[in-house]
Amino acid sequence: MAVTEAHIQDAINRLKDTGVRITPQRHAILEYLIVSMTHPTADEIYKSLEHKFPNMSVATVYNNLRVFKKTGLVKELTYGDSSSRFDFVSSEHYHMICNSCGKIVDFHYPGLDEVESLAEQVTGFQVDGHRMEVYGTCPECQKQNKQLKS
């Protein structure tokens, strides 16, 4: 079984364990989130699946994303463009965000794993989690900017 298929099956099992019924639309939305790796908006998910499910509404996508969030399968990411993006939670990772086009890319840096325990030691807080974003210009936008300047 491929890694992606394993992620999908694990996610489905997790939903079933919490009493969530697996509908074809729910399965398709979950699969899209896992396979795409693009941090899509609800509208992008809807547009990519509307041909497969012509009776599905944007509200259906939002409702399913809410269910996925509640079970911990998906994180809602809110950044500068004010539209929520959704990220399948496969492992702890951070985000690199392009200031020009808004593209979001995952990266993992094990050196940051100890940040939470250090923060607890220094502040006395009980840490529930953390998030880090790094902003810059993606390679495609850099190339486009160079072409515009020449």
Question: What residues are designated binding site for Zn(2+)?
Answer: 98, 101, 138, 141
How many C-beta neighbours within 10 Å does residue 2 have? 7
User: Which amino acids are annotated as binding site, given as ranges?
Assistant: 98, 101, 130, 138, 141
* CB-CB contact of 140 with 100 (8 Å): no
Nearest CA to 33 out of 45, 24, 19, 17 is that of 45
User: Which amino acids are annotated as binding site for Fe cation, given as ranges?
Assistant: 130
* CB-CB contact of 28 with 52 (8 Å): yes
